[in-house]
Amino acid sequence: MTEDTTVTRTLDCIGLYCPEPLFQTRESIDSIAVGEVLEVFADDPAAKEDLTRFAKRAGHEVVAVEHEGDQLRILLRRLK
């Protein structure tokens, strides 16, 4: 993660399971400006694959994927 990665919005998907984190991430990334960063917290085991695949398919950048215990923190930069 680079030093200039400022989180614009944080989305808490802890306790939510597929497909809810994906739906909420899609909605949240659409609500921020191009170039801004969405931070997503999730504990669904499928979230890492689902959200990184969504970001790549939608043309967004996966800035970071971090694990802390069973929690996942993903930073996505909106590119278009």
**Active-site residue flag, 18:** yes
Q: Annotate the chain with DSSP letters as a single string.
A: --TT--EEEEEEETT--TTHHHHHHHHHHHTS-TT-EEEEEE--TTHHHHHHHHHHHHT-EEEEEEEETTEEEEEEE---
Catalytic pick from 8, 9, 16, 18?
A: 18
Catalytic residue numbers, as ranges:
18
